[in-house]
Amino acid sequence: MTAQTLENLPESCGVYVYLDRARQILYIGKAKNLKKRVLSYFYLQEGQTTPNPKNSARVRDMVAKIASIEWHITPNEHEALLLEDRLIKQHQPRYNILLKDAKTYPYICVDMDLPYPVLHLQRQPKEGLRCFGPFSCGAKEILQSVLERIPLAQSLSCVRATRACIFYQIQRCKAPCENKISPQDYASMLQEALDLLENLPLLGALLKERMRTLAQQERFEEAAIYRDRLAKIQELLGRLQDSTPMRALQMHLGLSAPLERIEIFDVSHHAQSHCVGAMVVFEKGKWLKNAYRRYILESKNEYDQMQELLQRRLKRLNRPPDLWLLDGGKAQVRLAQKILARACLCIHVLGIAKAKRGGRVCRSMGDVPDVLYTVDRALRLKAKDPCLQFVQQLRDEAHRYAIAFHRYRSRAQIV
């Protein structure tokens, strides 16, 4: 393993794989920052690499065997967790077992063939089960919340019992063990539970409503339980929502690598006065506020303003993003491609043009089918498509930032 190889690792979220000289996998791990994590295994001095003496003897023994490294970049940590899990299960690396780092993430499963199916957590689901997940966080909280709301049997042992237990007394179960509910009525309740598992945002909304009710009744300790559960579910939803549109956008653009950093551009002016431009940055699932930039523009029409904005951005471009998103259509996309070609840079470009009805521009409220443009085609997604709504959110943040700067410049001129 050379020091140059380590120095060239991406500072991205993903999964790394250590291999020995025979190309056998030694270890699989995940990292928010691949370069930082992998470097922690090594000690670099004068271009040479040795095992980091701060690590345990078993880790140093593993590092001494590393001949090469492979890595897989993922859109976010949630995807890295799941990919790491799948690869460890597939390859069973020796040092993942020794170091007790092999994780499996739970599913919520149910055997629909039983007369009284029971929802339960399972890390290695058997064939024939209906499963939800895997969940990198919040699985226990999701299951608890569903079972508190819908009085299904709480565990497999409950169904096998011969007498009703405490859950029946507190109205958390209908006692199928004593045949106090028919399989048909139980199936109706089960379907309600499955609907919630398929609609986690609704489950989150129900938890929030319950938490507020308890707080209003000054039952603060109970409200805190729901608050903590809600936080876990919202964390999971955030990961899933960011991951899904990003992955869909990657597929629509036909890209082999995930989109990690997107720079979004917009211009703003009023009657060709106080012309300004703005750039905002979305990186690894969040807004990178310290990378936002504002520009005072000399050009008077929007086409020339966008050209000036992009050319000025290139002068201070230290790390090329994966995508430029422009508020505009074909003309702006082609303009950006020409600018990048002259600079010998390869950055994918996407434009988003506002939809028009009756010749008038429609402002997006989550129900407008704005059109996406690449250099050679138009993408016409449905108004409710999560991918389109994600791109609209990116565009709207750049628009908000540009408008705020324009208003600031206008007020300053008046004063």
Q: Residue 173 and residue 151: Cα distance in Å, rounded?
A: 4
Q: Residue 29 and residue 41: Cα distance in Å, rounded?
A: 12
Longest dimension (CA), the chain: 82
Structural contact between residues 249 and 395, judged by C-beta atoms closer than 8 angstroms:
no
Query: How much is the mean pLDDT over the chain?
Result: 87
Q: Which CATH class is domain 261-414?
A: alpha beta
Q: Residue 186 and residue 135: Cα distance in Å, rounded?
A: 26
Taking the domains of the chain in order of start, what are their residue ranges? 3-98, 107-253, 261-414
Domain 3-98 has CATH 3.40.1440.10: yes
For the range 315-319, what are the long-range contacts, defined as Cβ-Cβ under 8 Å and sequence gap of 24 or more? 317/345, 319/261
Q: What pLDDT does residue 272 have?
A: 65
Confidence band (pLDDT; 50, 70, 90) for 366? very low
Instruction: Give the tens place of pLDDT for each residue, 181-216.
Output: 999 999 999 999 999 999 998 999 999 999 999 999
Q: What pLDDT does residue 399 have?
A: 92
Instruction: Give the tens place of pLDDT for each residue, 128-184.
Output: 899 988 888 899 999 999 999 999 998 888 888 888 888 898 999 999 998 899 999
Least confident of 4-8, 212-216, 271-275: 271-275
Q: At 71, which helix (H) or strand (E)?
A: strand 68-73
Q: What pLDDT does residue 103 have?
A: 52
Confidence band (pLDDT; 50, 70, 90) for 367? low
Structural contact between residues 387 and 249, judged by C-beta atoms closer than 8 angstroms:
yes
Instruction: Give the tens place of pLDDT for each residue, 216-254.
Output: 999 999 999 999 999 999 888 877 776 778 888 988 998
Give the predicted TM-score (pTM) of the model.
0.56
285: closest CA among 83, 12, 9? 12
